[in-house]
Structure 1
Amino acid sequence: MEVELDKPKVCGTCGARDAPLKCPCKAVFYCNAECQRASWKEHRGECTHDLERKLEKDRRRLEGNDPAIVVALFSLGHLYQAQHRLAEAEEKFLEVRRICLPVEEGWGWQNAAAVSSRLGCIYEDQDKLDDALDMQKQALRLYRRVTGDDDDVDVAMTLNSLGSVLARMGQLDRAMAKHKKAHEILSRLYGDDHPSATVVLTNMANTLTLQGREEEATAVREKALGTYRCSLGSESDQVVGTLVSLGNSYAVQGKFEEAHGKFEEALATVRRIHPERNPLEATILMSMGQAQVDQGKLDDAVAMYNKAYRIYRKTIGVETLQGACTLHSTGVVFQRQGKMEAAMEKFNEALAIQRRVGGGEHHDVATSLLNIAVCKNMMGDPQGAVALLREAEGINRKWGSSDGNAQNVAAFLAILEGELSGSGGG
C-alpha cells in the first residue's frame, strides 16, 4: 500500500508546495535534485528505499539470522508502520519473529517479543482483534521469560496494549484489570508522574468511558493532564491530546461550556507548537464539530467538519482514514437534516477512500455501508439497503464484531428483510 495516495507535495528541504520530485521511498517530495541532496544526510536514515537496498546487500554478505539483519528488518518495519504501510511492516516484523524465536537467548526472545507487540498493534489498526490479542499475549509471555518477573517496563506496556485490545472487544472488566496492573508496575518503577504511567492512565479513562463511567473517566483524564504538564510541560502534543479527550468527556456529560474551554485551549496550544497547519488541529475541530451536533447546532458542525477536512487535505492528504472520517461525519449531519442526497454523496466519497486505504473489510467500511443503507431506505430503495446491510454484516461477522454498529446493522437488516418478506418484495 502506498504511504498516501494523495500525499501533499511539500518539499522536504525548503517547505515549498507542489514539489514535483518524489523520493523512491514515496515518503517525501523535493523541488529538485539540489533540494534532495541538501536533505539527504537527514533523510538517509529514514529512506526505506535506501534501507531496503542495504538490507539486500547484508543478506548476501551475512548469515540469515545475523543480528545485523534483525536490526535492519526491525528498523524498516518501524518506518513502514510509522508511514501506515502496514502490509510491509507486517512482512518485516514476521521475518524478525521467524529469525528470533528459535534463538533461546536474551536478544532473540527480546526482539521476538518486541515485534510481536508491534504486530499486535498493526492487527489492532486493521481491526483484526483476535490476531491482535494473540500477538500481545505472545509478546507478554516472551517478555516474562526474558525478565523473570513483572516489574519491567516492557511487560507493563504490553499489559497496557492487551487492555486496549480487550476494551475494543467489549471485555471491559478484563481490560481495566490489565490497565491497572500496568499502572501499578510503572508507578513502582518510575513513580505516578512518569509519562509511561500517564499513557496507561489515558487508556484507563477510555475504558471507563466505554463502561459508562464518564465522571470517573473525567477525573482520571484531569489527573493525566496534570502529570503530563509536570513531566513534559504545557507545550506538548500529549497535553493537547489529553485536553481534547477532556473536552469530549465534558461534552458527553452535557457540560458544553467546560468542553469548549478545553477545545479552545487545545487549539491555542497546538497552534503555538506547530505554526504550520497540523493534523492535530483538524482532530480538535472534529471534536468541536461533534459537540455542536450534540447541541443541535448542525450548520455550525458542518462548518467545523469542512475546516477540519481542508486541514487534513493540506497536511496528510485526502486519501486517509482521517479524511474519510471527516466526510462521513459531514454525511451524518446532512442525514439528520434530511438532506439524503447530500448525505449519500459524502458517505460514498468516504466509503471509496476507506476501501482504498483500509481495505474492503475495514470496520469503517461497515459503518459507511450502514449509513448509506439508511439513506437508500429513506429514499425508497429498501432492496438496495438490504444488499448493503448484508455486506456490512459479512464484514462484522468476519471480525467477530459485536459493538453498537454491528448490532444496528443486524437489527436494521432484520426489520427490512421482514418488511420485504411480508410485502413479497424480497
Structure 2
Amino acid sequence: RESATARATADYLVDTFRLSEPSTQNPRTITALSILDRSAERARTELADQPVVLARLISTLGMAYNNLGLANEARQAIEGSAPAIARAGADGADAQLTLAGTYLMLGQLDRAMTTVAKAQATLGPDPANRPDVRVRAAVTEGMIHAAAGETTKGIAAFDRALAVYRTSPAINPARLATVLQARGNLLSDDGQFAAAETSLGEALKLNRSTLGDHHMETGQTWFALAQNAFLAGDLPLAETRIANALKIEREVLDPDNPIIADALSMQGQIYQAQKRLVEAERSLEQAVAIYKKAFAGPHYLIGIAEVYLALVESERGRTEMALRILDDAKHNYDVSYGRIHPNHGDLLVNRATILARAGRRNEARADCAEGLKILAQTMGPQASYTRSMTAVCAQI
C-alpha cells in the first residue's frame, strides 16, 4: 500500500507543476502561492476517492502554507478536505495535527487542543502504532499548553515526546531539536533559566550541525535563547541573540512573515528594558504591522507587542496614550484567547505600573490586585511569574 501511495503522490506532484494553460501562462510569473493554491484545489477534486493520498498531500500543503505565514490559507485547505481526512483513519492523523498547529498559529487554542485530541483518538491506544505521529501529537499538545500558559502540562507533554526520541534507534536530530527547544521555552517561562539554557543549547548545537547556521530552525533557536536571556535579566546577551535570529530569518523569509514579527517583538521588548525607547518603538510597531497583515483580525501576539508599546509611551509621560494601547491589547487577548489567560493578569500588572508612574496609585493597586488574582488562578500562586509580578506590585 505504501508503494502505491508513493506512486500516486509522485504522479500528482508531477501534474501539479504542468502549466494548466501553456498558451497564456508565463512560467516566470508563477508563484509558490499559486502552485499551493492549485495543488490544494486539485487534491480536493481529484483525490477524493484516495483519502490516504489526499490526507498526506493536504498535510504537506498545509505546512507549506504555514511556513509562508499563510495560516488562513492552510486552515481553509485542510478544513476543506476534512471528510476525506476522516476516511483516511489513522493515516489522517498527520493532517489533523497540521490543522491543530494552524489553529495555534491563529491563536485559536481551544480548537487546536480539540483537534489534537481527535488525532490522538484516531491513532488508538497502541503506543507502537505510528510512534512518530504520536510524538508529533505530544509536541503539538505541549505547544498549545505553552500558549495557554499551562506550563506544567506543557513540560509533561514535551517529556513524553523526548522519552520516545531518546530511545529511538533512528533518532531524527532536527525533530529532537524541536522538542528540546519547545521544552526549553517552557522551562524558561517557569523561571528555570539554567535548565532552559541547557535544553536550548542542545537544540542549537543539533540545528547548527545538521541544518547549518543559516537555516530558519537555527534562527528560531537563537530567538528562544534570546528570550531566555531576556527573562533571566541578561539584556546584552539577549540583544546579541535576537540579532542573530533576525539576521537568519531575514535571509530566508519574506519581510512580512510573522516569524520575523516575533523576533522584532522580542527585540522591542529588550530595547524597552534597556530604555532605548526610539528603537523599541520602531521594532514593536514593525511587529504589530506584520501581525495585523498576517492575521487580518485580533491576535494575542498583537496584544503582547502592544503591552510593550504602552510601556514605551508611559516612559515618555504619555499616560493616556499608553492606556489606550493597553485597551487594544486587552481586546486582542479577549478575542484571541476567548477566556481568561495569564496574559490578562500580566496586562493588568503592567497597567498598574503605568498608573503608578503617573501618580495614580489607588487605581494602580486595584489593577495589581486583580492582575495577581488572575495569575494565581491561571498559573498558580507559586508559579515563578506570579511571584515575580507579586514583587512588582509590592513596590507600588
Whether these two folds match at TM > 0.5 is: yes
C-alpha RMSD of the superposition: 5.0
Number of matched pairs: 353
Which residues of structure 2 form unaligned runs of 5+?
1-23, 390-396
Partner of 2:14: none
Partner of 1:84: 71
Instruction: Check the 8 A contact 2:268/2:282 in 1, yes or no.
Output: no
Matched, 1:46 2:33: no
CA offsets per residue over residues 106-134 of structure 1, 9 Å max, x none? x53221x2233234334544655555444
Task: Check the 8 A contact 1:289/1:302 in 2, yes or no.
Answer: no
CA distance in 2, matches of 1:336, 1:404: 30
1:360-415 deviations in whole A, cap 9, x for unaligned?
779699579858976799798x99xx9xx99x9xxx9xxxx82489x99xx9xxxx
Deviates more, 1:266-275 or 1:199-208: 266-275
Letter in 1 for 2:95: V
Q: Is the 8 A contact 1:225 1:242 kept in 2?
A: yes
Is 1:109 paired with 2:97? no
Contact map agreement 1:309 1:323 (CA 8 A) in 2: no
C-alpha spacing 1:210/1:137, structure 2 compared with 1 (3 Å): same
- Structure 1 residues 401-416: aligned runs within 5 Å: 402-403=378-379
Gaps of 5+ in 1: 1-33, 101-106, 412-426
Match of 1:178 in 2: 157
Separation in 2, partners of 1:369, 1:210: 16
Describe the shift of the 1:72–1:183 C-alpha distance in structure 2 as closer, same or farther (beyond 3 A).
Answer: closer
Distance 1:67-1:307 versus aligned 2 partners, 3 A rule: closer
Equivalent pair of 1:74/1:115 in contact (CA under 8 Å): yes
Matched, 1:249 2:228: yes
**Is 1:305 the counterpart of 2:281 in the alignment?**
yes
The 8 Å contact of residues 126 and 362 in structure 1, kept in 2 or not, is answered as no
Q: Give the partner amino acid of 2:90.
A: W
Is the contact made by 1:117 and 1:136 (CA closer than 8 Å) also made in structure 2? yes
Distance 2:303 2:150 in 1: 28
For residue 189 of structure 1, give the secondary structure of its aligned residue in structure 2. Answer: coil
Alignment of structure 1 residues 186-335 onto 2, 5 Å = 186-189=165-168, 194-273=173-252, 280-294=259-273, 297-298=274-275, 300-310=276-286, 313=289, 317=293, 319=296, 321=299, 322=301, 325-335=304-314
For 1:28, the equivalent position in structure 2 comes to none
Please give the alpha-carbon distance, in whole angstroms, between the structure 2 residues aligned to 1:234 and 1:78: 22
Measure the CA separation in 2 of the matches of 1:72 and 1:224.
29
**Residues 315 and 324 of structure 1: is their aligned pair in 2 closer, same or farther, counting only changes over 3 Å?**
closer
Cα distance per residue 1:208-238 (max 9 Å; x no partner): 1233211111121111111111111111121
Contact 1:127 1:362 in 2 (8 A): no
- Equivalent residues in 2 for 1:386-397, closer than 5 Å: none
Compute the displacement of 1:206 (Å): 1.7
The change in CA–CA distance for 1:246 and 1:129 in structure 2 (over 3 A counts) is same
Report the structure number with the largest CA radius of gyration: 1
1:261 shift after superposition: 2.9
The superposition leaves residues 296-319 of structure 1 with CA deviations (integer Å, 9 ceiling, x where unpaired) of x33x14423323423664798385
Within 2, Cα distance between the matches of 1:359 and 1:177? Answer: 22
Query: Whole-Å Cα distance in 1 between the matches of residues 124 and 29 of structure 2?
Result: 42
2:9 counterpart residue number: none
For 1:168 and 1:362, locate their aligned partners in 2 and report how far apart those are by CA, in whole Å: 13
Q: Cα gap change, 1:252/1:141 in structure 2, threshold over 3 Å: closer, same or farther?
A: same
Note closer, same or farther for the CA distance 1:310–1:69 as it changes in structure 2 (3 Å cut). Answer: closer
Q: 1:128 to 1:360 in 2, by over 3 A?
A: closer
Identical pairs, percent: 16
CA distance in 2, matches of 1:78, 1:244: 21
